[in-house]
Amino acid sequence: MNLNEVRAVVTGGASGLGYAVAELVIASGGRVTLFDIQDAQGQKAAQTLGAAAGFQRCDVSSEASIDAAMQAAAAAMGALNVVVNCAGIGTAGRILGRNGPMPVDQFTRTIQVNLVGTFMCDRAAAVIMQHNPPGPDGERGVLIHTSSVAAFEGQIGQSAYTATKAAVAAMTLPIARELAMFGIRCVAIAPGIFHTPMLAGMPPEVQESLGKQIPFPSRLGKPSEFAALAASIITNPMLNGTTIRLDGAIRMQAK
């Protein structure tokens, strides 16, 4: 699939990794609908990206919200052939914290947003993509998951987050195998430490320290580098059913 043919939904697209993906797709001639729960920020992001961008307020923890937004996005763009799942939360907390045991609803909320939300977006998109006219090799669509290096080296306090990111990576292959009959690919990206709005709020010395932990290049990852890998996945039909680490060779320590 060429980038100028892309009609994509990017969840969590109002900022960070998702916004960078949208920016690259649009610069390459494609169209994007941003999904985000942040209404004002989402509207502003779409306006900044220009006429090829749209916005749908979407809560990825809600099946009804996802289904309605996905149908609206496909109608607005005239098609839907790519979904990039970037929406997620990074709730941290120890099982036995200073204030007592971790509330179970904190764990289940993380699962609902990061894991179930990704599954529901894939599901809603596949319902539409299965009817796309086939391209070269019979391709009809691409689903991209955002996992994390935490899926492999989860740190103390990341039990909920790690569980979701490991599961997102693990379900990539069975989804790819199942949807192969429809010509829909599924690939996951497992980024390391990237310069996102969450990290931008940290003191500069903390950001510098985190960057130095990365063997090479010894800096935080750039959202544009995540977007470049997403573009490679979209355009290379042999990338399917796998999880790709994008981390500068970092291996996270226990804490």
Residue 26: enclosing H or E segment and its boundaries?
helix 16-27
pLDDT for 81 equals 98
Nearest to 33 by CA among 79, 89, 2, 96: 79
Q: Looking at the domain 3-195+222-246, which fold is it?
A: Rossmann fold (3.40.50)
Residue given tokens 């052939």 in the structure block: 81
Active site residues: 161
pLDDT for 208 equals 82
CB 168 within 8 A of CB 114: yes
Query: Is the peptide bond between 197 and the residue preceding it cis, with omega within 30 degrees of 0?
Result: no
Query: Alpha-carbon distance 235 to 3, whole Å?
Result: 7
CB 131 within 8 A of CB 80: no
What are 151's two structure tokens? 């899926």
196 CB-side CA count, 13 A: 21
What residue spans define the domains of the chain? 3-195+222-246
pLDDT for 154 equals 87
pLDDT per 10-residue tile (average), the chain, 255 residues: 97 96 98 97 97 98 98 98 95 89 94 98 98 96 97 92 97 98 98 85 79 92 97 98 96 86
Query: Alpha-carbon distance 176 to 204, whole Å?
Result: 40
Query: Alpha-carbon distance 239 to 186, whole Å?
Result: 8
